[in-house]
Amino acid sequence: MAQLVRTVVIAALCVGAGALIIWGPRGGPPIDPDRVHVTYWEKWTDFEGAAMHALVDRFNATTGAERGIYVEYVATTNVDMKTMVATAGGDPPDLAGLWQRNVHSFAASDALTSLDERARSAGLRDGALLDIYEHACEYHGELFALPLTPSTIALYYNKDALAEFADALRDAGLDPERAPRTIAELDAYADIIQRSDARGDLELLAYLPGTAGSFAWFWQTWPIWFGGRLYDASQKRMLVDQPAFIDAYTWVSKYAERFDRRRVARFEAGLGNFASPDNPFISGHLAMVRQGPWFANTIRQFAPDIHYGVAPFPTIDGVPRAYYEEDVITVPRGARHPDEAWSFIEWLYTAPPQHYSPPDGSTGMGYEYYESRADGKTVRKPMPPLRPIEWLCWMHCKNNPLRNPDPAFVETHPNPAIEVHEALARAEHADTVPPLPNWAEIENEFVAAYADIWAAGPPVRERLRECQRRIDILTKLTETRLARHAVAYP
C-alpha cells in the first residue's frame, strides 16, 4: 500500500513538472540585439505599474524603434535601497524611479547623473515645469531628476457624515454643507461629529491627526497648517522647536487627550489599511481625512458611492496652505546607457498628445474612455489624446507637473476635485520635504518624537527640544561627513 502511495505521489509530481515545462510561463520575446537595452527599475505595480508599462511599450514601438532603444520595465520593491546597493556595486539600472525625498541624499553621495544640460537642451528648464516640482528635483541648483507623478495634500470629507450631524452643526453656528476652513472650525466639527458603541468604544470621529488612515510622512507636515515652514532656509536646518511646531504638536497631543488617549488607541487599532475596504474613511469611521489626489482612486475602487468632497486642509488662519511631494525619475551614476535613458525621459515630456493601448486585463478606463459626471450622471466619453507625462499622472490620479497643463487633463481627470489639488500646487504657501541629504535620519527622529507625543503625551516643548538636540547632532555629523568629500551641507 505504502509503495503504491509513493508511486502515485511521484507520478503526480512528474506529471505536474512535465506540464509546467510544456505549458508553463514563457519569457518575453527576445530583445532585438541591434537595439540598446535600457533597464528601468520602478516602484509601481498594479494599475500604476500598468500605466507606466503602457508608456514604455508605446516608446519601444515608436521613438525607441526609430532610435534603436528598448526600455525594459522592472517593477522593484524597495527601489531606493536596491538602486543604492546596485550603484555602490557599479551595476545600477539605466533608469530608476525614486521618491523626491531620495534626490538630495543620492545626489550628495554622487549617486545620480546630472540631467541639467540635457533638460536645458530639451527646453525643460525654461518654465515648462511648475517651479515647486522642478526645485524639488534640484541639489545645489543642479537638476538630478524629473518629476513623474506629483501630488498635494487636501482634506477629503464625507458629505453624508456631515449631513447626519447637520442640525447639531448648525446649532453650533457651523455649515454642514462645507468643510472646515480653520483649525478652530475643525475642532468644533470634531466636538460634534462623534459616536460611540454600547461598550463606550469610539465608532466615528470627525478627524484623527494620529496614525490612522495616514502615512508616517504626513506627520511632519503639521506645522505647515499652523503657519510654519518645515525647513529654515536661512539657517539651513530643520527647526522643530520653533513656535509653529510647538503649537501644532500641542494641538495634536490635546486632540488625543480630549477623546481619552487610551480610547483613541483602541479606536485606531480597529482601523484598517489604506488600500482596503477597511480604510477608516471608506468604512465610515472617520468623516474627514488628509489625503492626496490618489485617494479618489481608492474610493472608486472600494466605495464608489461615497458622497465626498475635497477642500484645502484647514489652517490656523484660514489661508490655504499646501504640502506637496512627487515621484521622480533618475539616471543613476554609472548607468551604462545614460543618453538612451534620457531619450525615454525626454519622450515622456515632449512627445505629442496621443492615445494609448490598454494592456491585457485592463478595464479600459484611461485608455479608451473616461467617465464624465454631469447632472449627477456618469457618462462614458472617448478619451482625448494626452502627452505621455500627463497621461501617466492622469492614470495615477495625481497632479500635473507641467506649468501649463492640457485643459483636457483637468476636464477628464478621474479625481473630480483635481482642481483643488492643482490650485494648492499653485498656492502662495506650499511646502515640501526639507532638501536635506540626511533627511531619512532626521525624519525618523521626528517620527519617534511624534509617536511619543501622540501615544504617551509627554510635555511637547521638552520632547521637541530633545528632538532638536538629536537633529543638531545628526546635522553636524552629516556636515562633517560631506566635508570629507568637499560637499557643502545641505
Partner 1 sequence: MNKRVHNSDSAVHGLLWISPWLVGFAVFTLLPVVISGYWSFCDFDGLRPAVFTGTENWTTVLHDPLLHQTVRNTAIYAAFALPIGLALALGLALALSARIPGRAVWRAMIFLPTLMPLVAVGIIWMWVFNARYGLLNLVLGKLGITGPNWLTDPQWTMSSMVILGMWGIGNAMIIFIAALQDVPSELYESAALDGAGPWQRFRSVTLPMVSPAIFFNVVIGVIYVWQIFAAPYVMLPGGGPGRNAYFYTMYLYDLAFTYRRFGYACTLSWVQLAIILFLTALAFRFGRRWVYYRGALQ
Shortest Cβ 444–partner 1 spacing (Å): 6
Cβ-based nearer residue to partner 1, 270 or 359: 270
Quick one: DSSP state of residue 32?
P
Shortest Cβ 471–partner 1 spacing (Å): 12
Strand partners, 42: 75
Distance CA 477, CA 438 (A): 10
Shortest Cβ 459–partner 1 spacing (Å): 14
Distance CA 293, CA 297 (A): 8
Cβ-based nearer residue to partner 1, 270 or 384: 270
Grid cell digits, residue 196? 460611540
Which residues bind to partner 1, rule: CB under 8 A? Answer: 81, 84-85, 87-88, 105, 109-111, 201, 262, 265-270, 333, 438, 440-441, 444, 447-448, 451-452, 454-456, 470, 481, 484-485
Residue 325, CA distances (Å) to 8, 57, 303, 430 in order: 58, 27, 26, 10
Strand, coil or helix: 143: strand
Distance CA 319, CA 331 (A): 38
Cβ-based nearer residue to partner 1, 166 or 451: 451
Grid cell digits, residue 332? 543613476
Q: List, as one string, the DSSP characters of 365-397.
A: BTTTEEEEEETTEEEEEEPPPB-HHHHHHHHHT
Shortest Cβ 212–partner 1 spacing (Å): 11
Grid cell digits, residue 231? 525647513
Shortest Cβ 323–partner 1 spacing (Å): 21
Shortest Cβ 472–partner 1 spacing (Å): 13
Cβ-based nearer residue to partner 1, 106 or 165: 106
Shortest Cβ 108–partner 1 spacing (Å): 9
Shortest Cβ 135–partner 1 spacing (Å): 24
Task: At 6, give phi and psi (nearest 5°).
Answer: -60, -45
Q: List, as one string, the DSSP characters of 318-349.
A: S--EEEEEEEEEE-BTT-S-HHHHHHHHHHHH
Shortest Cβ 261–partner 1 spacing (Å): 9
**What are the DSSP E strand ranges found in 124-241?**
138-139, 142-143, 146-152, 154-158, 194-196, 202-205
Cβ-based nearer residue to partner 1, 101 or 387: 101
Cβ-based nearer residue to partner 1, 61 or 473: 473
Distance CA 379, CA 367 (A): 15
Strand, coil or helix: 208: coil
- Residue 240 in contact with residue 468, Cβ under 8 Å? yes
Shortest Cβ 55–partner 1 spacing (Å): 29
338 upstream amide cis, omega within 30 of 0: no
Choose among 148, 185, 192, 144: nearest CA to 168.
192
Grid cell digits, residue 458? 509627554
